[in-house]
Amino acid sequence: MASKESLAASIPGLSPAARKMLEIAADAEASVAAIANALEEDKSMADRLLLIANSPLFRPVSPLRDIRGAIARLGVRSSVELALAVAILNASGGRMPLPALNVRKQSVAIGAISRIVGYEYGEQGGDNTFLSGVVHDIGLVTLVRNKTVDYRANKPETHDDGLCALEKDAIGYSHADLAGAVLKKWNVGSDIMALATEHHDVDATHANPVAHELLRVADTIEHGVAAGKPTNEILEATERTAKSDSVPPGRLNVLWPRIMEARQSMQAAAVA
Ligand SMILES: [Fe+2]
Ligand SMILES: [Fe+2]
């Protein structure tokens, strides 16, 4: 049976452009030019960034045609976040069986939902809402892709917190534990790593409890939609997921059309 460490080691490292982006992310003075220069070294990263920047999630007033224009419009922080998300999608991509691809598409949808719902939490929701969603189930993509766990009775696409218990029984660690190991290998920042590790732990005391709640609310929405549950049932489930009353279900109801539009367009971008 593959250990957490050996599975994490089997995942490719990030590209030089992605590593450069991590350096830029840590630089409070980062400039548009620095981001553009790093992106120009990796055309597939730049192309996908442009695709996502033009999606309904980022709502450009007019189409963004070149990378410098896109960075100027998105701003430095959002551009770095998006570039890192794209880099991680590229590093963890390639051919994979349909169930793994579905989990990957859902993670991107969860990123989109986090970003939209995150506005409702304001600054409390923290930075990197989209990126956190994209990476949080990287461990699940890996376990499903490698067929490490037999998920027959509990579809990974519609998973709830019980999935971790099933995995721990089978292999001794959960997909959330594995996500932590992969993100550590990539050096993707301790806050995002902690969010991924704790995303099924309702009692986790995360440094930013609102970011933790936001990720869990987005997760609940996406997995509910994937399971074909009615909207009112999903909204009720988010009430149970959310510890605070920062985002009342009435607000989520208003946001629902945007949430659905963003998750669909992001899923298309994830497999483009
Ligand atoms: Fe998960
Ligand atoms: Fe998830």
- Domains in the chain, ordered, with CATH? 12-91 (no CATH), 95-272 (1.10.3210.10)
Local confidence band at 153 (pLDDT 50, 70, 90 cut-offs): low
Q: Has residue 177 got a pLDDT over 80?
A: yes
Give the mean pLDDT of the chain: 86
**Which ligand is in closest contact with the Cα of 106?**
2
Q: Has residue 4 got a pLDDT over 80?
A: yes
Ligand 2 centroid vs 39 CA: distance in angstroms? 29
CA angle 193, 40, 42 (to 5 degrees): 55
Ligand 2 centroid vs 191 CA: distance in angstroms? 17
The Cα–Cα gap between 159 and 166 comes to 11
Q: What pLDDT does 270 receive?
A: 66
Average pLDDT over residues 36-56: 86
Ligand 1 centroid vs 209 CA: distance in angstroms? 17
pLDDT tens column, 62-82 = 888 888 888 888 888 888 888
CA distances from 28 to 24, 80, 130, 176, 266 (A): 8, 11, 19, 29, 28
Average pLDDT over residues 237-266: 84
Q: Which amino acid, one-letter code, is at 14?
A: L
Q: Has residue 157 got a pLDDT over 70?
A: no
**Which ligand is in closest contact with the Cα of 139?**
1
Ligand 1 centroid vs 32 CA: distance in angstroms? 34
**Which ligand is in closest contact with the Cα of 217?**
2
Ligand 2 centroid vs 5 CA: distance in angstroms? 21
Ligand 1 centroid vs 175 CA: distance in angstroms? 7
- Other C-beta atoms closer than 10 Å to the C-beta of 13 total 12
Ligand 1 centroid vs 137 CA: distance in angstroms? 5
The Cα–Cα gap between 12 and 14 comes to 7
Q: What pLDDT does 158 receive?
A: 67
Average pLDDT over residues 87-107: 84
Ligand 2 centroid vs 183 CA: distance in angstroms? 15
Ligand 1 centroid vs 192 CA: distance in angstroms? 14
Q: What pLDDT does 230 receive?
A: 95
Higher pLDDT, 254 or 120: 254
Average pLDDT over residues 167-185: 94
* Element housing 29 (H / E): none
Ligand 2 centroid vs 181 CA: distance in angstroms? 16
191-207 CB burial, b ≥16 within 10 A, e <16: bbbbbbbbbbeeeeebe
